[in-house]
Amino acid sequence: MLQAYNQAGEPVILAYLDRSTVETMRTQQSFYCPVCGERVAVKAGRSKIAHFSHKPHSNCSVSKGEGEYHEKGKLQLFEWLVDQGLEANLEKHLPEINRRADILVRIGKKAVALEFQCAALNRKELSERTDDYRKLGIEPLWILGGNRLKRTGAAQIRMTSVDQSFLSCYQENDQPLINFFCPNSRQFCLFRHVQSSGNGRFHGDLHFLSLNKCRILYLFHPSSKQDTASFWYNWLKDKQMFRTKPPPNRQSRQQLSWSKWLYQKKYHQSLLPSLIHLPVTGQYRMKTPPWNWQSRLCLDFLVPLPVQRVVPIKPIYRLLHDVMMPPSDFPLIKCSADPVREYLELLEKLEIISFVNEQEIQKQIPIKFPENVEQALHDDRMIIQFLKLKNNLTSQASTRMIE
């Protein structure tokens, strides 16, 4: 805890005082927790940020220390907001919901609770905290500790399922984003245009920005235009790797059951049609990787369907019901994407199916399987090239509409 009240009821932040002043205060003054009112002790070790601490076995909701890394980051973020001329409150206690925000900041007319999250927080807790803040008309803004950033490539990170629930989206039709901050390097990492590629891996644009170059509004925005060239390049690489690389010896249970299912259907991973394993924004809502659910949709539903037959899409949702997470699992995403519909729309672009109306589709052509791996790899290149082109055309058209 960085801040407590003295006997006069004034807030004191020890980190701003020199060592001898802190020492004098320790012996001559008493301090009290702003949340529970209990007396708290002054802690000022050699290497640590001076702070307050509850007595052992305290029942106060904020008595559990959050560690040096968290305290350091919280203080830096607080100063960063004050330097931007914003009205910011450190460790603001909100008695109505019995919670304490790391920092409460006012941006124009909006109140924002900034939470610097360095420890794991489960989905349920995240949802509850988010709901509580919104009840008071406060928008939560979560920044994950840089200690949680696991980079696996130039434009790729790995996230635990717990961290994935922090994916945020503040405007309709935007791709999700997520923010990290490291107090040791005093840098933000803004991860934008986030696209799940399954198994906890995420493609996206990584921007590293020093604290003094960043502004609070950047944390809400998708920022620059997406680097689509490297996105499609990486996707194609993944897709081709999936075909040609033999499965690892130790496979997850999910992967094993998929392989078994595929084997029973007498198909082989390397010879699946190229329209399986395509990117959709809503992939973050799927519990299985794209090749898994898309192959079930294609092989169990579309392949047996006669050409020209009109069918409702509802059974597809039933088929994939168990592998889809509800939008409520992502409380920070304002308008949730529908991965199944997105995928069907891609198949419509590829002229495999067409939508007859909102709820029904018609199969247009038979689904072709490649005869050998060379042909499959060629088809992959073609399909990615086609989607990249279509995608660029649509994004140009929508830019024109905005202009």
Chain contacts with Zn ion (rule: CB under 5 A): 33, 35-36, 60
Cβ-based nearer residue to Zn ion, 35 or 332 = 35
Cβ-based nearer residue to Zn ion, 103 or 383 = 103
Rg over CA atoms, the chain: 26
Could you tell me the smallest distance in angstroms from the CB atom of residue 103 to Zn ion? Answer: 18
Cβ-based nearer residue to Zn ion, 49 or 60 = 60
Could you tell me the smallest distance in angstroms from the CB atom of residue 10 to Zn ion? Answer: 17
Cβ-based nearer residue to Zn ion, 43 or 349 = 43
Could you tell me the smallest distance in angstroms from the CB atom of residue 38 to Zn ion? Answer: 5
Could you tell me the smallest distance in angstroms from the CB atom of residue 53 to Zn ion? Answer: 10
Could you tell me the smallest distance in angstroms from the CB atom of residue 34 to Zn ion? Answer: 8
Cβ-based nearer residue to Zn ion, 35 or 50 = 35
Cβ-based nearer residue to Zn ion, 5 or 267 = 5
Cβ-based nearer residue to Zn ion, 58 or 354 = 58
As a three-state string, the secondary structure of the chain is: CCEEEECCCCEEEHHHCCHHHHHHHHHHCCEECCCCCCEEEEECCCCCCCEEECCCCCCCCCCCCCCHHHHHHHHHHHHHHHHCCCEEEEEEEECCCCEEEEEEEEECCEEEEEEEECCCCCHHHHHHHHHHHHHCCEEEEEEEEHHHCEEEECCEEECCHHHHCCCEECCCCCCCEEEEEECCCCEEEEEEEEEEEECCEEEEEEEEEEHHHCCHHHHHCCCCCCCHHHHHHHHHHHHHHHHHCCCCCCCCHHHHHHHHHHHHCCCCHHHCCCCCCCCCHHHHHECCCHHHHHHHHHHHHHCCCCCCCEEECHHHHHHCHHHECCHHHCCCECCCCCHHHHHHHHHHHCCCEEEEECCEEEECCCCCCCCCHHHHHHHHHHHHHHHHHHHHHHHHHHHHHHC
Could you tell me the smallest distance in angstroms from the CB atom of residue 143 to Zn ion? Answer: 24
Could you tell me the smallest distance in angstroms from the CB atom of residue 42 to Zn ion? Answer: 15
Nearest CA to 254 out of 211, 199, 175 is that of: 199
Cβ-based nearer residue to Zn ion, 35 or 311 = 35
Could you tell me the smallest distance in angstroms from the CB atom of residue 36 to Zn ion? Answer: 3
